[in-house]
Amino acid sequence: MEELAQKLVSWIQEKVKEGGCRGVVFGLSGGVDSATVAALCHRAFPKACLGLIMPCHSHPRDAEDARRVAEIFSIPVKTVLLDPVYDTLVEALTGHPYDPEKRSLALANLKPRLRMTVLYYWANELNYLVVGTGNRSELAVGYFTKYGDGGVDILPLGNLVKTQVRELASYLGVPKEIINKPPSAGLWEGQTDEGEMGLTYAELDHYLLTGEAPPKVAERIKALATGSEHKRRLPAIPPF
Ligand SMILES: Nc1ncnc2c1ncn2[C@@H]1O[C@H](COP(=O)(O)OP(=O)(O)OC[C@H]2O[C@@H]([n+]3cccc(C(=O)O)c3)[C@H](O)[C@@H]2O)[C@@H](O)[C@H]1O
Ligand SMILES: Nc1ncnc2c1ncn2[C@@H]1O[C@H](COP(=O)(O)OP(=O)(O)OP(=O)(O)O)[C@@H](O)[C@H]1O
Ligand SMILES: [Mg+2]
Protein backbone atom coordinates (compact mmCIF):
# COMPACT_ATOMS: atom_id res chain seq x y z
CA MET A 1 0.00 0.00 0.00
CA GLU A 2 2.82 2.43 0.81
CA GLU A 3 4.39 1.72 -2.56
CA LEU A 4 1.07 2.33 -4.33
CA ALA A 5 0.48 5.56 -2.38
CA GLN A 6 4.01 6.79 -3.18
CA LYS A 7 3.59 6.00 -6.87
CA LEU A 8 0.26 7.83 -7.06
CA VAL A 9 1.67 10.84 -5.19
CA SER A 10 4.64 11.04 -7.58
CA TRP A 11 2.28 10.65 -10.53
CA ILE A 12 0.12 13.56 -9.33
CA GLN A 13 3.25 15.72 -8.86
CA GLU A 14 4.45 14.80 -12.34
CA LYS A 15 1.12 15.63 -14.03
CA VAL A 16 0.92 19.01 -12.28
CA LYS A 17 4.50 19.82 -13.28
CA GLU A 18 3.88 18.70 -16.87
CA GLY A 19 0.86 21.02 -17.00
CA GLY A 20 2.95 23.95 -15.80
CA CYS A 21 0.69 24.22 -12.76
CA ARG A 22 1.53 24.58 -9.09
CA GLY A 23 -1.11 22.67 -7.13
CA VAL A 24 -4.39 20.77 -7.04
CA VAL A 25 -8.07 21.39 -6.35
CA PHE A 26 -10.77 18.77 -5.79
CA GLY A 27 -14.35 18.40 -4.50
CA LEU A 28 -14.68 17.00 -0.98
CA SER A 29 -18.00 15.17 -0.67
CA GLY A 30 -17.56 13.23 2.56
CA GLY A 31 -17.32 9.99 0.55
CA VAL A 32 -14.42 7.55 0.38
CA ASP A 33 -13.23 8.42 -3.15
CA SER A 34 -12.73 12.11 -2.46
CA ALA A 35 -11.24 11.35 0.98
CA THR A 36 -8.62 9.14 -0.71
CA VAL A 37 -7.87 11.77 -3.34
CA ALA A 38 -7.57 14.38 -0.59
CA ALA A 39 -5.05 12.28 1.34
CA LEU A 40 -2.92 11.70 -1.79
CA CYS A 41 -3.14 15.34 -2.90
CA HIS A 42 -2.05 16.59 0.49
CA ARG A 43 0.99 14.32 0.34
CA ALA A 44 1.73 15.54 -3.18
CA PHE A 45 1.21 19.27 -2.53
CA PRO A 46 1.03 19.95 1.22
CA LYS A 47 1.17 23.72 0.62
CA ALA A 48 -0.82 23.91 -2.63
CA CYS A 49 -3.96 21.83 -2.34
CA LEU A 50 -7.52 23.00 -1.90
CA GLY A 51 -10.70 21.07 -1.10
CA LEU A 52 -14.09 22.45 -2.12
CA ILE A 53 -17.19 21.53 -0.15
CA MET A 54 -20.21 22.23 -2.36
CA PRO A 55 -23.54 21.30 -0.84
CA CYS A 56 -26.43 21.35 -3.30
CA HIS A 57 -29.55 20.24 -1.45
CA SER A 58 -27.22 17.68 0.12
CA HIS A 59 -27.59 15.74 3.34
CA PRO A 60 -25.89 17.79 6.13
CA ARG A 61 -23.87 14.71 7.13
CA ASP A 62 -21.94 14.91 3.82
CA ALA A 63 -20.45 18.31 4.63
CA GLU A 64 -19.71 17.21 8.22
CA ASP A 65 -17.82 14.18 6.91
CA ALA A 66 -16.03 16.35 4.34
CA ARG A 67 -14.88 18.76 7.08
CA ARG A 68 -13.70 15.80 9.16
CA VAL A 69 -11.59 14.54 6.24
CA ALA A 70 -10.15 18.04 5.70
CA GLU A 71 -9.17 18.24 9.37
CA ILE A 72 -7.55 14.79 9.46
CA PHE A 73 -5.41 15.48 6.39
CA SER A 74 -4.84 19.23 7.15
CA ILE A 75 -6.44 20.37 3.92
CA PRO A 76 -7.58 23.98 3.51
CA VAL A 77 -11.20 24.08 2.38
CA LYS A 78 -13.65 26.53 0.92
CA THR A 79 -17.37 25.97 1.13
CA VAL A 80 -19.56 27.10 -1.75
CA LEU A 81 -23.25 26.70 -1.05
CA LEU A 82 -24.81 25.82 -4.38
CA ASP A 83 -28.47 25.62 -3.30
CA PRO A 84 -29.44 29.18 -4.36
CA VAL A 85 -27.51 28.94 -7.65
CA TYR A 86 -29.15 25.61 -8.41
CA ASP A 87 -32.62 26.86 -7.54
CA THR A 88 -32.23 29.88 -9.83
CA LEU A 89 -31.01 27.70 -12.70
CA VAL A 90 -33.81 25.14 -12.26
CA GLU A 91 -36.42 27.88 -12.27
CA ALA A 92 -34.86 29.53 -15.34
CA LEU A 93 -34.86 26.19 -17.18
CA THR A 94 -38.25 24.80 -16.18
CA GLY A 95 -40.28 27.84 -15.18
CA HIS A 96 -41.04 26.12 -11.87
CA PRO A 97 -39.40 26.24 -8.45
CA TYR A 98 -37.14 23.28 -7.59
CA ASP A 99 -39.18 20.37 -6.23
CA PRO A 100 -37.06 17.63 -4.61
CA GLU A 101 -39.99 15.24 -4.95
CA LYS A 102 -39.86 15.43 -8.76
CA ARG A 103 -37.25 12.97 -10.02
CA SER A 104 -35.38 14.18 -13.11
CA LEU A 105 -31.95 12.94 -14.19
CA ALA A 106 -31.46 16.04 -16.34
CA LEU A 107 -31.95 18.28 -13.29
CA ALA A 108 -29.92 15.96 -11.03
CA ASN A 109 -26.95 16.10 -13.44
CA LEU A 110 -26.86 19.91 -13.11
CA LYS A 111 -25.47 19.46 -9.59
CA PRO A 112 -22.14 17.84 -10.57
CA ARG A 113 -21.94 20.26 -13.52
CA LEU A 114 -22.20 23.25 -11.18
CA ARG A 115 -19.47 21.70 -9.00
CA MET A 116 -17.26 21.29 -12.07
CA THR A 117 -17.71 25.02 -12.81
CA VAL A 118 -16.65 25.96 -9.29
CA LEU A 119 -13.60 23.66 -9.42
CA TYR A 120 -12.43 25.19 -12.72
CA TYR A 121 -12.89 28.69 -11.33
CA TRP A 122 -10.36 27.90 -8.61
CA ALA A 123 -8.10 25.92 -10.94
CA ASN A 124 -7.89 28.93 -13.32
CA GLU A 125 -7.49 31.41 -10.48
CA LEU A 126 -4.73 29.53 -8.64
CA ASN A 127 -3.03 27.75 -11.57
CA TYR A 128 -3.97 24.35 -10.10
CA LEU A 129 -5.17 21.16 -11.83
CA VAL A 130 -8.65 19.75 -11.12
CA VAL A 131 -8.24 16.30 -9.62
CA GLY A 132 -11.13 13.92 -10.27
CA THR A 133 -12.14 11.12 -7.92
CA GLY A 134 -13.51 8.60 -10.46
CA ASN A 135 -12.32 5.02 -9.97
CA ARG A 136 -11.97 2.15 -12.45
CA SER A 137 -15.35 0.65 -11.45
CA GLU A 138 -17.31 3.87 -12.08
CA LEU A 139 -15.38 4.68 -15.25
CA ALA A 140 -15.93 1.21 -16.71
CA VAL A 141 -19.71 1.46 -16.56
CA GLY A 142 -19.98 5.23 -17.11
CA TYR A 143 -21.37 5.87 -13.64
CA PHE A 144 -20.60 9.60 -13.63
CA THR A 145 -22.03 12.75 -15.16
CA LYS A 146 -20.45 13.68 -18.48
CA TYR A 147 -18.67 17.04 -18.02
CA GLY A 148 -19.87 17.03 -14.40
CA ASP A 149 -17.80 14.93 -12.02
CA GLY A 150 -16.33 13.50 -15.25
CA GLY A 151 -15.04 16.96 -16.24
CA VAL A 152 -11.58 16.91 -14.65
CA ASP A 153 -7.88 17.10 -15.54
CA ILE A 154 -6.48 13.95 -13.94
CA LEU A 155 -7.91 10.79 -12.37
CA PRO A 156 -5.42 9.29 -9.91
CA LEU A 157 -7.84 6.52 -8.83
CA GLY A 158 -8.78 5.64 -12.41
CA ASN A 159 -6.92 2.34 -12.41
CA LEU A 160 -8.21 1.13 -9.03
CA VAL A 161 -11.53 -0.64 -8.59
CA LYS A 162 -13.73 0.51 -5.70
CA THR A 163 -12.58 -2.36 -3.44
CA GLN A 164 -8.94 -1.30 -3.98
CA VAL A 165 -9.82 2.35 -3.28
CA ARG A 166 -11.33 1.27 0.05
CA GLU A 167 -8.12 -0.63 0.92
CA LEU A 168 -5.97 2.37 0.04
CA ALA A 169 -8.29 4.68 2.00
CA SER A 170 -7.95 2.49 5.05
CA TYR A 171 -4.14 2.47 4.75
CA LEU A 172 -4.07 6.28 4.40
CA GLY A 173 -6.12 6.74 7.58
CA VAL A 174 -9.58 7.59 6.21
CA PRO A 175 -12.07 6.96 9.06
CA LYS A 176 -13.91 3.61 8.97
CA GLU A 177 -17.34 5.30 9.05
CA ILE A 178 -16.52 7.06 5.77
CA ILE A 179 -15.08 3.93 4.15
CA ASN A 180 -18.14 1.89 5.14
CA LYS A 181 -20.82 4.43 4.12
CA PRO A 182 -22.93 3.12 1.23
CA PRO A 183 -21.47 4.85 -1.87
CA SER A 184 -23.81 7.56 -3.13
CA ALA A 185 -23.72 10.33 -5.72
CA GLY A 186 -26.00 12.27 -3.36
CA LEU A 187 -28.11 13.55 -6.25
CA TRP A 188 -31.41 12.71 -4.56
CA GLU A 189 -32.65 11.44 -1.21
CA GLY A 190 -31.82 7.77 -0.70
CA GLN A 191 -29.75 7.37 -3.90
CA THR A 192 -27.06 4.67 -3.75
CA ASP A 193 -24.59 3.68 -6.47
CA GLU A 194 -25.39 -0.02 -6.17
CA GLY A 195 -29.16 0.55 -6.21
CA GLU A 196 -29.01 2.73 -9.31
CA MET A 197 -26.48 0.61 -11.23
CA GLY A 198 -28.37 -2.59 -10.41
CA LEU A 199 -25.00 -4.13 -9.50
CA THR A 200 -22.92 -4.45 -6.37
CA TYR A 201 -19.33 -3.21 -6.34
CA ALA A 202 -18.35 -6.74 -5.28
CA GLU A 203 -19.87 -8.08 -8.53
CA LEU A 204 -18.53 -5.28 -10.70
CA ASP A 205 -15.00 -5.36 -9.24
CA HIS A 206 -14.78 -9.15 -9.42
CA TYR A 207 -15.76 -9.01 -13.10
CA LEU A 208 -13.27 -6.24 -13.89
CA LEU A 209 -10.43 -8.05 -12.13
CA THR A 210 -11.13 -11.62 -13.31
CA GLY A 211 -13.55 -11.41 -16.26
CA GLU A 212 -15.87 -13.74 -14.32
CA ALA A 213 -19.51 -13.16 -13.39
CA PRO A 214 -22.85 -14.95 -13.59
CA PRO A 215 -24.20 -14.47 -17.16
CA LYS A 216 -26.87 -11.89 -16.18
CA VAL A 217 -24.36 -9.79 -14.28
CA ALA A 218 -21.80 -9.96 -17.10
CA GLU A 219 -24.50 -8.91 -19.59
CA ARG A 220 -25.49 -5.94 -17.46
CA ILE A 221 -21.89 -4.77 -17.07
CA LYS A 222 -21.19 -5.15 -20.79
CA ALA A 223 -24.34 -3.21 -21.68
CA LEU A 224 -23.44 -0.35 -19.32
CA ALA A 225 -19.84 -0.32 -20.60
CA THR A 226 -20.89 -0.20 -24.26
CA GLY A 227 -23.59 2.41 -23.67
CA SER A 228 -21.13 4.74 -21.94
CA GLU A 229 -18.22 4.50 -24.40
CA HIS A 230 -18.90 8.07 -25.54
CA LYS A 231 -18.11 9.31 -22.01
CA ARG A 232 -14.58 7.90 -22.16
CA ARG A 233 -13.75 9.47 -25.55
CA LEU A 234 -13.23 12.91 -26.99
CA PRO A 235 -16.26 14.26 -28.93
CA ALA A 236 -16.59 12.71 -32.39
CA ILE A 237 -15.17 14.76 -35.28
CA PRO A 238 -16.04 14.09 -38.96
CA PRO A 239 -13.16 12.33 -40.77
CA PHE A 240 -13.40 14.76 -43.75
N1 LIG B 1 -23.57 7.74 -28.22
C2 LIG B 1 -23.35 8.96 -27.73
N3 LIG B 1 -22.38 9.74 -28.24
C4 LIG B 1 -22.12 10.95 -27.73
N5 LIG B 1 -22.80 11.49 -26.69
C6 LIG B 1 -23.78 10.76 -26.15
C7 LIG B 1 -24.12 9.48 -26.64
N8 LIG B 1 -25.13 8.98 -25.90
C9 LIG B 1 -25.45 9.93 -25.00
N10 LIG B 1 -24.65 11.03 -25.15
C11 LIG B 1 -24.66 12.28 -24.35
O12 LIG B 1 -24.50 11.92 -22.98
C13 LIG B 1 -25.59 12.43 -22.22
C14 LIG B 1 -25.90 11.44 -21.09
O15 LIG B 1 -24.81 11.35 -20.20
P16 LIG B 1 -24.89 12.10 -18.82
O17 LIG B 1 -25.26 13.51 -19.02
O18 LIG B 1 -23.65 11.81 -18.04
O19 LIG B 1 -26.17 11.41 -18.10
P20 LIG B 1 -26.47 9.93 -17.60
O21 LIG B 1 -25.41 8.97 -17.95
O22 LIG B 1 -27.84 9.61 -18.04
O23 LIG B 1 -26.53 10.15 -16.03
C24 LIG B 1 -25.40 10.19 -15.19
C25 LIG B 1 -25.34 8.96 -14.30
O26 LIG B 1 -24.18 9.03 -13.47
C27 LIG B 1 -24.57 8.96 -12.12
N28 LIG B 1 -23.65 9.79 -11.33
C29 LIG B 1 -23.58 11.12 -11.61
C30 LIG B 1 -22.73 11.92 -10.88
C31 LIG B 1 -21.97 11.37 -9.84
C32 LIG B 1 -22.08 10.00 -9.61
C33 LIG B 1 -21.30 9.43 -8.47
O34 LIG B 1 -21.06 8.23 -8.44
O35 LIG B 1 -20.98 10.24 -7.59
C36 LIG B 1 -22.92 9.23 -10.36
C37 LIG B 1 -25.98 9.48 -12.07
O38 LIG B 1 -26.66 9.10 -10.90
C39 LIG B 1 -26.55 8.88 -13.36
O40 LIG B 1 -26.88 7.54 -13.19
C41 LIG B 1 -26.73 12.58 -23.21
O42 LIG B 1 -27.66 13.55 -22.78
C43 LIG B 1 -25.99 13.01 -24.47
O44 LIG B 1 -25.71 14.40 -24.42
N1 LIG C 1 -21.29 17.94 -1.79
C2 LIG C 1 -20.16 17.86 -2.49
N3 LIG C 1 -19.16 18.76 -2.28
C4 LIG C 1 -18.01 18.68 -2.97
N5 LIG C 1 -17.73 17.77 -3.87
C6 LIG C 1 -18.68 16.84 -4.14
C7 LIG C 1 -19.93 16.84 -3.46
N8 LIG C 1 -20.65 15.80 -3.93
C9 LIG C 1 -19.89 15.19 -4.85
N10 LIG C 1 -18.69 15.81 -4.98
C11 LIG C 1 -17.57 15.46 -5.86
O12 LIG C 1 -18.02 14.49 -6.82
C13 LIG C 1 -17.23 13.31 -6.70
C14 LIG C 1 -17.99 12.10 -7.16
O15 LIG C 1 -18.84 11.63 -6.16
P16 LIG C 1 -18.79 10.10 -5.71
O17 LIG C 1 -20.01 9.89 -4.89
O18 LIG C 1 -18.52 9.21 -6.86
O19 LIG C 1 -17.48 9.99 -4.80
P20 LIG C 1 -17.37 10.00 -3.19
O21 LIG C 1 -18.53 10.73 -2.62
O22 LIG C 1 -16.01 10.58 -2.89
O23 LIG C 1 -17.37 8.48 -2.79
P24 LIG C 1 -18.65 7.48 -2.79
O25 LIG C 1 -18.74 7.01 -4.23
O26 LIG C 1 -18.21 6.39 -1.89
O27 LIG C 1 -19.86 8.21 -2.35
C28 LIG C 1 -16.80 13.33 -5.24
O29 LIG C 1 -15.70 12.49 -4.99
C30 LIG C 1 -16.45 14.80 -5.05
O31 LIG C 1 -15.20 15.11 -5.61
MG1 LIG D 1 -20.47 10.14 -2.85
- 3 state SS of 170: helix
132 alpha carbon – ligand 2 mean position (Å): 9
Q: Whose CA is nearest to atom 10 of ligand 1?
A: 230
Provide the pLDDT confidence category of residue 147 given band limits of 50, 70 and 90.
very high
Is there a domain that residue 237 lies in? no
| Residue 89's CATH number | 3.40.50.620
Query: Using one digit for the tens of pLDDT, what is the confidence trace for 48-87?
Result: 999 999 999 999 999 999 999 999 999 999 999 999 999 9
Alpha-helix residue ranges (DSSP H) falling in 162-200: 162-172, 176-179, 193-197
Is there a domain that residue 35 lies in? yes
8 A C-beta contact, residue 183 and residue 194 = yes
Domains in the chain: how many in total?
1
Mean pLDDT for all residues in the chain: 97
Residue 32 per-residue DSSP state: H
Query: Using one digit for the tens of pLDDT, what is the confidence trace for 206-222?
Result: 999 999 999 999 999 99
Instruction: Tell how far CA 15 is from the center of its chain.
Output: 18
- Please tell me the predicted confidence (pLDDT) of residue 150: 98
231 alpha carbon – ligand 3 mean position (Å): 19
Our answer on whether the CB atom of 186 is closer than 6 Å to any ligand 2 atom is yes
Q: Find the domain containing 103 and state its range.
A: 2-232
Query: Using one digit for the tens of pLDDT, what is the confidence trace for 114-126?
Result: 999 999 999 999 9
Provide the pLDDT confidence category of residue 98 given band limits of 50, 70 and 90.
very high
Q: Which residues contact 195 (CB under 8 A, 6 or more apart)?
A: none
